[in-house]
Structure 1
Amino acid sequence: MKVGGWWTIIAILGVAYLCYWSGILLIDCLYENNVKIRSTYQAVAEAYRPGMGRFVLCAQLTELLSTCIIYIVIAGDLLQSCVPSLDKSALMMLVTTALLGCAFLDSIRIVSNLSLMNAISHLIINAIIFIYCLFQNNCNVPFTFDIRTMPTVIGVVVFGYTSHIFLPSLEGSMEDPTKFKWMLRWSHIIAAIFKSLFGLLDFLTFGDFTQKEISNSLPNQTFKVIVNLVLVIKALFSYPLPYFAAVHLLKDNLFMGTPKTLFTR
């Protein structure tokens, strides 16, 4: 909102619509004549042109590993705002050390439970920020268009809808896959409304003082530290899902030669 103004709201709604329909089309590619014959994007690429699957695999790994790195960087930023005297690199190493336990994740159910904790912490933070913003003075939102800043706006908005990488496994794990379209439609509608309201309310409250991590815009230092610590916990709980997906992609494509190892149960 600080960079794009009202155009950011338009981008949030437009990208949500495009992501919904592209997600539906991608899952439709797994089927032929209403029969599911593929389970991964790599298989879809191979069906289109043999050899293309490896490029899709590289793109998937790049996105997943980049997401993992972003969570570590965000956690480091938030911790540094709490303890400015400590080096950001050292804090990122501390966060990475705390995440080493993810190497022992072997069940999607455990990952789902961790993601649930992420959702709960997310709701707590949003409730705190919403309540705070409602009792503050409001600013005006600009309706200016700057072509130099629009790539930044679009990039940030698109990153907020990074569910496509998980759609095949999500659809495959549903008890009733016929409800996939309904689930995807309403999840994008709710996400678009929530992101729009959250971004608008925050900018109306903090104006030009809005920071890239919204919690850093809070004027009360104690309040800001508490919120940032909860956000760090949220980032830690967000990490296992992309990590688990990346590890399974590597295992399924590069390490299937030996059926049993010293670490196999």
Structure 2
Amino acid sequence: YLSSIKNIFKVLLTSVDTKTQQKILTSGKANFCRDTDEEHMNFAKSDELNRAHSENREEPDGPLKSELGICHQDPEYKSPAPLPHAQVKLITSWEAGWNVTNAIQGIFVLGLPYALLHSGYSGLLLIVLAAALCCYTGKILIACLYEENEDGQLVRVRDTYEDIANACCKKLSPSLGGIVVNVTQVVELIMTCILYLVVSGNLLSHSFPYVPVTEKTWSVIAFVTLLPCIFIRTLKIVSKLSQLCSLVHFVIIFVVITYCVTQMHQWSWTKFGLSLEFENFLVSVGVIIFSYTSQIFLPTLEGNMKNPGEFRCMLNWTHFFACILKTTFALTAFLTWGEKTKEVITDNLPSFLETLVNLCLLTKALLSYPLPFFAATEIVCSCISKDNHTNYSSPLLALTVRGSFLLLTLLMAMFTPHFALLMGLSGSVTGAAMTFLLPSLFHLKLKWKKLSFLEKCADISVFILGFLCSLAGIVCSIKGLLEVFGIAKKYKVRPL
């Protein structure tokens, strides 16, 4: 192309004088360079825009919808209003794993040796089985977020637990399923936050028995340390706190197991009983199964991962290591104390170790609080934004919601009588529903035509198991409440 232009210039130049030739050459060269430079500038600008666009996709600062990296959506899918927290950064697989570990390595672990006391060898099998079941329901729940496109590729067309519920109840009512799921999630998360406050007050009163302060006052002191949670705006910060929480948990496990190993000469397998009491066995089942619950957090975690393809692998490893740690911890502790095993295993430790472990547990409870608190406030903010068709980007709304939730957890922790029994009752309903009933039901509803016979049988079995666990937990909790209030009425004792 350039050689042709050069030949044309030569032909034209033969008909003009030397000075004119020089002017034409100079002018032509300048125009050619200007055109070339403009073309290069346009390419550079286009390159820069493309690069900026790709960077925004990798580390977005916009609404949650862009953070989740949804490239294709179902035409019928209605995107919710952007959430107020618009600064969430994508998290790595490790950070997501720390959040899951924080959820499934909770304070329930301290009750596992006591659960073995009432379940015997079957308790060991239950620890392994519960890990496998909860890992499976987590995977099928995330599978409900995706659908295949025309090319057979999986595309994320839903964001949250609420979206899955709405998709399943679309024919019955467009928003009924989402309302039920949101209410269930918020109740479960708020009850968990209250439990951490109650436990913190209890641990502080046991760690400092000589200080003339009531347990409720200790709960208020613990609450003051949680006030900075109002300013948590990103899942990345929650992930860092979950990492610290998991490290504290490993310290507790290490201390208890190390002490138990020093008492190895007392171990005897004859301490495992073969005869079981049905009611106590049901309590053991509840403690073991609900020590693995993390399904509420999974859609948000998977949607905020830089590489969602690593989610299944992350879930496998976190549940595998949780199973190993829980089995080792429960087994060594039970073999050490046998029938003397108490409901909370730290009560069996010598006084100097008990104080150390209680302080570690206090730290763990306070560091565990932000994860359910953050999830609950995000659900509420999302509902407010969607219902009002407005993007509440003002920090004032977020601060108001978080502050209200903090105050609510404190008031319920201080003034709710027999909270532990109420927690068991609500946990039997909400915990079983979110962990077993809804994931299996939604998976069957949305994927029925694509599931194999064995997969359908697995989902149905999980649903039946979840229903039985929920029913048994409700019966035991109501029975406990009736006994407590009956005794209180008989002796005219005001409930604490």
- Find 2:204's aligned residue among 79, 85, 100: 79
The aligned residue for residue 123 of structure 2 is 8
The aligned residue for residue 267 of structure 2 is 138
The aligned residue for residue 167 of structure 2 is 47
1:57 pairs with 2:188: no
Q: Distance in 2 between matches of 1:132 and 1:229?
A: 17
The aligned residue for residue 357 of structure 2 is 227
Compared CA separation, residues 150 and 69, structure 1 to 2 (3 A): same
Q: Which moved more, 1:1-10 or 1:154-163?
A: 1-10
Name the SS for the 1:263 alignment partner.
helix
Q: Which moved more, 1:85-94 or 1:52-61?
A: 85-94
Taking the TM superposition and a 5 Å limit, the aligned residue runs for 1:91-240 are 91-136=218-263, 137-139=266-268, 140-219=271-350, 221-240=351-370
Compared CA separation, residues 229 and 44, structure 1 to 2 (3 A): same
Cα deviation, residue 264, structure 1: 7.1
Compared CA separation, residues 87 and 207, structure 1 to 2 (3 A): farther
Q: Which amino acid aligns with 1:193?
A: I
Q: Which structure would you say has the larger Rg? A: 2
**2:200–2:365 CA contact under 8 A, matched in 1:** yes
1:31 pairs with 2:146: yes
After superposition, the C-alpha distances for 1:196-247 in whole angstroms (9 at most, x for unaligned) are: 111111111122332333222102x122111111110111111101100001
Q: Distance in 1 between matches of 2:300 and 2:242?
A: 15
Q: Which amino acid aligns with 2:368?
A: S
Q: Which amino acid aligns with 2:362?
A: V
Name the SS for the 1:184 alignment partner.
helix
Q: Which amino acid aligns with 2:325?
A: F
**1:81–1:216 CA contact under 8 A, matched in 2:** no
Cα deviation, residue 124, structure 1: 1.1
**1:39–1:168 CA contact under 8 A, matched in 2:** yes
Cα deviation, residue 28, structure 1: 0.5
1:247 pairs with 2:377: yes
TM-score normalised by structure 2 residue count: 0.51
**2:248–2:360 CA contact under 8 A, matched in 1:** yes
Cα deviation, residue 262, structure 1: 6.2
Compared CA separation, residues 115 and 15, structure 1 to 2 (3 A): same
Name the SS for the 2:118 alignment partner.
coil
Q: Distance in 2 between matches of 1:231 and 1:109?
A: 23
Name the SS for the 1:164 alignment partner.
coil
Compared CA separation, residues 67 and 189, structure 1 to 2 (3 A): same
Name the SS for the 2:267 alignment partner.
coil
Q: Distance in 2 between matches of 1:262 and 1:24?
A: 34
Q: Which amino acid aligns with 2:283?
A: T
The aligned residue for residue 191 of structure 2 is 66
TM-score normalised by structure 1 residue count: 0.93
Name the SS for the 1:11 alignment partner.
helix
Q: Distance in 2 between matches of 1:77 and 1:210?
A: 20
Q: Taking every aligned residue pair, what percent have the same amino acid on both sides?
A: 36
Q: Which amino acid aligns with 1:88?
A: E
**1:78–1:229 CA contact under 8 A, matched in 2:** yes
After superposition, the C-alpha distances for 1:48-78 in whole angstroms (9 at most, x for unaligned) are: 1122110000111111111111211222222
5+ long unaligned stretches in structure 2: 1-115, 149-153, 399-496
Q: Distance in 1 between matches of 2:395 and 2:133?
A: 46
User: For the aligned residues, what is the CA RMSD?
Assistant: 1.8
**1:102–1:240 CA contact under 8 A, matched in 2:** yes
Cα deviation, residue 3, structure 1: 2.5
Q: Which amino acid aligns with 2:376?
A: A
Compared CA separation, residues 237 and 262, structure 1 to 2 (3 A): closer
5+ long unaligned stretches in structure 1: none
**1:7–1:145 CA contact under 8 A, matched in 2:** no
Cα deviation, residue 260, structure 1: 4.5
**2:118–2:276 CA contact under 8 A, matched in 1:** no
Q: Which amino acid aligns with 2:205?
A: Q
Q: Distance in 2 between matches of 1:143 and 1:83?
A: 40
Cα deviation, residue 5, structure 1: 2.2
Cα deviation, residue 90, structure 1: 1.8
Q: Distance in 2 between matches of 1:186 and 1:143?
A: 32
